[in-house]
Structures are given as C-alpha cells and as structure tokens.
Amino acid sequence: LTRRALYGSDSVVDVGGVPVGGNAVAVIAGPCSMDGPETLMRTAEAVRAAGAALFRVGLFKPRTSPYSFQGLGRDGFEAVREVRRVYGMPIVTEVLSVRDIEDLLEVADMLQVGARNMQNFPLLSELGKIGRPVLLKRGLAATVREWLSAAEYLLAGGNDEIILCERGIRTFETTSRFTTDINSIPVVKELSHLPLIVDPSHSAGHSRLVAPVARAGLAAGADGLIIEVHAQPEKALSDGAQALDPIGFGNLMPQLRNVAAVL
C-alpha cells in the first residue's frame, strides 16, 4: 500500500542506478519530444554538463490534437540509446499503450504514465508487472486520493518502484498553463511513502515561470524535478514555450542547489 503508516519509511526508487527519494534531490531534464538526433544529442550534452542526473525524452506523445506532431515513436529509439551510451544518463520516456511497453523497456530505465493516462487502469495493471520504475503523473483533474489510488494499481500488481509527479492541475486560472498544487507536496508526503517529484514545465507552461516554480517545489519538500529543456526551444515540435534553453537550465541548477541538496 502507498500508505506511509503501513510502510513505515520513505521508499527510494533506483532508476538505472540513480536513487530518487531519500536525502538528495534528483533532476530529470530533456526535451518534451525528440525531434531529431542532432538536437537530442546537443540537449543531452547541455543538461549533463549542467548536472542533470536523468534524461527525459518523449517518443510517443499524447497530443491534444490528432493533427499535432505525435512523436517519432520507434524511429527515435536508436538516438535515445546513443544518449544513454554517450552521456550515461538513465532514460525516462512516456508509454501511451500496453502494446509499446516491451519495446520501450529496451531503451528506457523508467516508463512515464502521463497525466492523461493516470486512470488508464489496464495500462497501470500491465505496468504493475514490469519490475521497472514507473513515473506516475497526477491527472489534470485528479484529487490526491485518486492519484494515490492509481499508484495502488501498480503496487497491487507487484511493482513498488513508483515515483509520483505533481505536474499542475486544471483550475480557473489561465495566466499559466496549469496550477501547481504546492499543497499536494506535503499532503502526499504525509499520506504516502513514495518519492514525489514536481514538473514545473507543464505546471507553468512558460519558460520564464519554470525557475521560481521549480524552487518552490523543492522548498515544499519534493524529492526531485522533471524539467523540459531543448537545445533550440523555438524549433521544438512540442511544448517549446515552456522549454528552457541550455543557458536557462545552466542558470537554474545552482539556484536549486541553494534550496536543496541536489544529486
């Protein structure tokens, strides 16, 4: 069970050799989606140099419109393997469908369940059996209890390598993309033993808002951050407006070290 009282202590999830949870904060960085091998390598080089411990990259994208870029899918696998080989960062990528799980496990160290799939119960049940870490994002309109209950599907299947991600919820506010529920951080820490990270990129939706929201997440007690970074945000095929460029990410890392111990 996710329940803190029953579990006794905070869990630490090993993601390809990087511990998430515990005393230090893990930073996951990389592009929303992979749009080409060269930009991907440049982005990976920059985030590694700035101190990111893990790399995020989207291959299968859950886009609001079917006419938007849907991700490179399997065509991006080779470049992702290359990032892992050259820069040594474990890979985090989103899984949309049960039929892609097996193939994605060949290139990724942790599979991400996106906000839009938080209550895709057949997907969660399958991911309960993989014996590999899962990053479970909070649904756009999910309560904390619904989110923890979704995590329970993974646990019930036998997978306790779960990391939760607060990525902002839908409110009446429109000046930022979503509203970061800072309250959920101490609430989840009270209710659950699972590591919890914050996604300031999707919460805020604008690159200029990412740094303050990231600092706030750590100050509130998050175990890590997942941040969108792109070598050339203006050319990104998804979520360019919220992506930090290498300079922006390089400036953010020392700010984070002022708030928490970063891996």
Residues forming contacts to ligand PEP in the complex (CB under 6 A) are 32, 58, 62, 114-116, 137, 167, 199, 202
Distances (CA, A) of 126 to 11, 26, 90, 109: 22, 26, 22, 16
Amino acid at site 227: I
d(CA 20, CA 54): 10
Is the Cβ of residue 9 or residue 173 nearer to ligand PEP in the bound state?
173
Q: Which does 137 bind (CB under 5 to 8 A by kind): ligand PEP, Mn ion, none?
A: ligand PEP
Is the Cβ of residue 28 or residue 260 nearer to ligand PEP in the bound state?
28
Site for Mn ion in 31-90 (CB under 5 A): 32
Locate tokens 């899962």: which residue? 134
At its nearest, how many Å lie between ligand PEP and the CB of residue 141? Answer: 12
Is the Cβ of residue 32 or residue 79 nearer to Mn ion in the bound state?
32
At its nearest, how many Å lie between Mn ion and the CB of residue 5? Answer: 35
**Listed residue (102, 13, 23) closest to 54, CA to CA:** 13
At its nearest, how many Å lie between ligand PEP and the CB of residue 65? Answer: 13
At its nearest, how many Å lie between ligand PEP and the CB of residue 12? Answer: 23
Burial of 261 (0-12, 13-18, 19+ CB in 10 A): exposed
**CA 127 to chain CA centroid, nearest Å:** 16
Q: Which does 167 bind (CB under 5 to 8 A by kind): ligand PEP, Mn ion, none?
A: ligand PEP
Site for Mn ion contains 239 (CB under 5 A): yes
Is the Cβ of residue 2 or residue 112 nearer to Mn ion in the bound state?
112
The residue of the chain with the least Cβ separation from Mn ion equals 32
Distances (CA, A) of 64 to 68, 69, 139, 238, 239: 8, 10, 14, 11, 12
**Listed residue (184, 248, 239, 170) closest to 212, CA to CA:** 248
Residues that bind Mn ion (CB under 5 A): 32, 239
